[in-house]
Copies of this chain bind each other. A is one copy, B any other.
Amino acid sequence: MGHDFFQLVSVHKLRESALAFPLVGKESCPLESIPGRVLAEDFYADCDWPMRSRSCMDGFALRAADSFGAGEFSPAYVDIAFECRIDSPPEQDIQPGQCARIVTGGILPSSADSVVMFEQTREIGDGCLEIRRPVAPGENIMLRAEDAAEGDILLGQGTRIGFRESGLLAAFGGHNCRVYRRPRVGIISTGDEIIPVHEKPSPGLVRDVNLYALAAQVRDCGGEPRLYGAVRDEYHLLKEAVQRAIEENDAVLISGGSSVGVRDLTIKVLEDLPGSRILAHGVALSPGKPTILSDISGTAVWGLPGQVSSVQVVMLVLVEPFLRHIGGESDPLWSFEKRLYPAVLGRNTPSAPGREDYVRVSLEAGDGESVAWPVTGKSGLLRTMSNAWGMIRIPAESEGLIKGEKVKVFPFRVV
């Protein structure tokens, strides 16, 4: 391979370098705005929850023993002594043979140990209740601190907040938590052939696809994209643009210009910037080989392929975990390792050993297993990504996968 002067690093090794960059700073965030943010400190329960034993049902609180033996044809009978409130503990207690009316969420009288559901009772007049089913101690109630005891860690530093976590924060007073700032990510396109999106191309010119696709991918993993537009293939112009982007952002993505051959400007510029360390120039990844990662005085600057599907795959495989990491997520490979759909491969899929191969697949839902069919098409085409449902990974050491093999599919669409 005479012209192959890349020193390829493995995906694993490049990820190690990428996940060693420092995290962004912290800020406070009101609860309304916290979905999608990442906690910058552990979050603790500030009280027992529930604070007292409460009912899970609309019904009647009682001593379970008073219902033992009750049945459809041999009901038990208790007296309705009072009504429990939902917003304060009852002032009275029940005596043996008594119950108290209670709604979902209501606080139990001290001596009640269970709740019989409304539907399994009948009020027969004179404050007397007929019970047609026995309840067990603890039935239909939440015990004090069953959810959490004061001081429990509820959410760890590095947790990405979703709807369930928003609810937990609300329940325990997290109205203003410390979170990581959204990573600011500068996006630059390079190439003399790139024109702005609102212009009409003539043959040879292309609109700036990557600027917008990358911005969307940056948002997908919690970052804040800043678009710097396209820079012509001139050393000084690119160097100036990269320097400006470094000053204004936590990380910089440059798409195009990282292929060997005539367009090696990016690596020259990155090598020449003050404080530069090139961590990778070429990665054992397909598509995505001509990827560069440099550390410019502590800021990560990525040189990404120009081809549409290559750059989108590199974003998913390498840049997304990196952005999740600097954004404080404790499990930056989450989406990559845990959001995978099992399927079986539809046909033999060869792969050159020595590189990790990401093959775009369509997914055919079967009655039992889904079938992943490799999508053919050149990586310069827009539709190899758009027509695919997701992608599968063929490990570097593998020469390919066999029809019928179990695979895990990384989905492209998730929301």
- Identify the A interface with B (CB < 8 A): 1-4, 31-32, 35-36, 46-47, 49-52, 54, 56, 58, 85-89, 103-105, 107, 118-119, 121-122, 140, 142, 146-148, 160-176, 191-193, 197-198, 200-217, 219-221, 227, 259-263, 306-308, 312, 315, 335, 339, 341-342, 368-370, 378-383, 385-386, 406, 411-415
Q: Name the residue on B nearest A196 (C-beta).
A: B175
Chain B hits for A411, CB < 8 A: 339
The answer to whether B35 and A216 have CB atoms under 8 Å apart is yes
The answer to whether A220 and B1 have CB atoms under 8 Å apart is no
Chain B hits for A415, CB < 8 A: 36, 160, 162, 220-221, 335, 414-415
Chain B hits for A202, CB < 8 A: 51, 88
- A103 and B50 CA atoms in complex are apart in Å by 67
The answer to whether A312 and B370 have CB atoms under 8 Å apart is no
* A147-B383, A368-B406 as given contacts; A163 in contact with B216, CB under 8 Å: yes
Q: Name the residue on B nearest A366 (C-beta).
A: B342
The residue among A216, A221, A312, A370 with the most chain B CB atoms within 10 A of its own CB is A216
Chain B hits for A173, CB < 8 A: 197-198, 200, 207
Chain B hits for A1, CB < 8 A: 119
A88's partner among B35, B85, B204, B312 (CB-CB below 8 A) is: B204
The answer to whether B216 and A383 have CB atoms under 8 Å apart is no
The answer to whether B213 and A105 have CB atoms under 8 Å apart is no
A3's partner among B118, B169, B208 (CB-CB below 8 A) is: B118
- A36 and B217 CA atoms in complex are apart in Å by 11
The answer to whether A31 and B103 have CB atoms under 8 Å apart is no
